[in-house]
């Protein structure tokens, strides 16, 4: 798909010029670029940098770089037509030092054990950074949920849950939704677990339907947290959020609501992409109308009052704010030098490779790392778990106020640590998290 010049009345001429520049640039290739590293390599590289910075021992490094427990299971499925398909599922528990493991469950044809290991490690740092009493975990099944009926997905979920039952529970490991899963998936997990123990256990998962003990505000918590941090980052650079330009890569669980919240906060969201393509409007996209278009058609492509844009070029637009909110590794050594955003706020987990981080830092781009930027989801998951354990439910206003307070406090702590030690925000955030996990290790001791 080739980018076209915007013809929208009132469009921003500088952005329209940028769209023309990107479309004609000889440096841009539209073929997919293979990332130079995997998510696990990225996660371990980030940890290694911090271990050296903090002066920790090789033994501690090895402990923190290795998951405490991993379970890989076969997940057979009886299809609606009667034949059997087999899938592979994983659950990785990276750390327990600060509390039970916590992390999402994703259904994707691209799931690998190494990806799940990386995501579990990042979740450990995220929980520690936000001072949530959890360790990190993650799960996944290598399946494309779009190819299966609701009944088939229910059977896959229940069989997977039955296979990992020995290692999950409200005091052991609490799953939550991720790519390809939702509140219905969590309801099936909760029911399967509850039947196995003989009574209802709402706290075994978070991200449940409200009627089954879910928390108000949970579904949009990650997106709202991204918005709070994005506004703080822009203000930190002396830029008013009102009227600032933004591009959002991904229009799923995180990107869709993030675009809405950013627009509501006065930002001009000029470009949005999904897995099928991207759209651009120099005068700003009507996010609500775009969401209705996606609900009706399944994609942002073809949205009226916008111009088509190559999805990869969205990452290179000259905007104040870029929110990569889809998958890992989209900003890498091959394209980082062409990224022109002033601020990047990572809505996805691991969207920026270590090599890209160095290029962006050299170019003066402020990158707010995923373990801070998208931590709103795990914060409200924690709130949901607390409410379930107490059987006492908070109002939406209480949830959103607590979320805003915790995200703002975390931003201030990371910003100040970064300034004090002369570090990037990512290195500062990871250092703070690793220090907290290490302190928990030290206080608990090593058994035996």
Question: Looking at the annotation, which residues are catalytic?
Answer: 138
**In terms of DSSP bridges, do strands 366-368 and 343-345 run parallel, antiparallel, or are they unpaired?**
parallel
Q: How many CA atoms lie within 13 A of 19 on its CB side?
A: 28
Closest CA to 123 of 50, 162, 67: 67
User: Is 252 exposed, middle or buried, given 0-12, 13-18 or 19+ CB atoms closer than 10 A?
Assistant: middle
């Amino acid at each position: 798909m080739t980018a076209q010049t915007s013809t929208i009345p009132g469009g921003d001429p500088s952005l329209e010029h940028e769209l023309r520049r990107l479309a004609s640039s000889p440096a841009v290739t539209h073929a997919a670029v293979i990332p130079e590293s995997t998510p696990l390599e990225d996660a371990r590289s980030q940890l290694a940098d911090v271990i050296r910075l903090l002066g920790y021992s090789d033994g501690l490094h090895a402990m923190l770089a290795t998951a405490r427990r991993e379970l890989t299971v076969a997940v057979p499925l009886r299809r609606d037509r009667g034949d059997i398909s087999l899938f592979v599922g994983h659950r990785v528990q990276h750390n327990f030092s600060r509390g039970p493991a916590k992390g999402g469950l994703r259904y994707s044809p691209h799931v690998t054990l190494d990806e799940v290991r990386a995501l579990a490690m990042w979740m450990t740092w995220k929980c520690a950074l936000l001072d949530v009493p959890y360790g990190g975990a993650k799960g996944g099944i290598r399946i494309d949920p779009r190819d299966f009926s609701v009944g088939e997905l229910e059977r896959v979920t229940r069989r997977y849950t039955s296979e990992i039952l020995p290692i999950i529970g409200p005091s052991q490991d609490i799953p939550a939704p991720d790519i390809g899963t939702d509140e219905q998936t969590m309801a099936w997990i909760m029911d399967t677990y509850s039947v196995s123990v003989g009574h209802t256990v709402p706290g075994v998962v978070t991200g449940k339907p409200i009627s089954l003990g879910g928390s108000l505000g949970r579904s949009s918590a990650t997106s709202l947290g991204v918005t709070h941090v994005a506004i703080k980052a822009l203000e930190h650079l002396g830029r008013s959020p009102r009227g600032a330009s933004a591009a959002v890569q991904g229009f799923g669980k995180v990107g869709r609501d993030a675009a809405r919240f950013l627009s509501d906060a006065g930002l001009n969201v000029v470009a949005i992409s999904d897995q099928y393509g991207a759209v651009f409007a120099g005068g700003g996209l009507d996010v609500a109308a775009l969401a209705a278009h996606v609900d009706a058609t399944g994609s942002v492509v073809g949205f009226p009052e916008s111009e088509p844009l190559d999805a990869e070029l969205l990452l290179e637009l000259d905007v104040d704010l870029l929110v990569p909110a889809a998958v890992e590794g989209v900003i890498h050594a091959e394209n980082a030098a062409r990224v022109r955003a002033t601020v990047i706020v990572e809505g996805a987990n691991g969207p920026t490779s270590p090599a890209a981080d160095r290029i962006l830092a050299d170019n003066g781009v402020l990158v707010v790392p995923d373990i801070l930027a998208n931590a709103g989801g795990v914060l409200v998951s924690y709130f949901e778990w607390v409410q379930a354990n107490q059987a006492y439910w908070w109002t939406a206003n209480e949830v959103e106020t607590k979320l805003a307070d915790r995200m703002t406090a975390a931003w201030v702590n990371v910003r100040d640590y970064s300034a004090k030690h002369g570090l990037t925000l990512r290195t500062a955030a990871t250092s703070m998290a690793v220090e907290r996990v290490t302190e928990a290790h030290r206080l608990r001791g090593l058994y035996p």
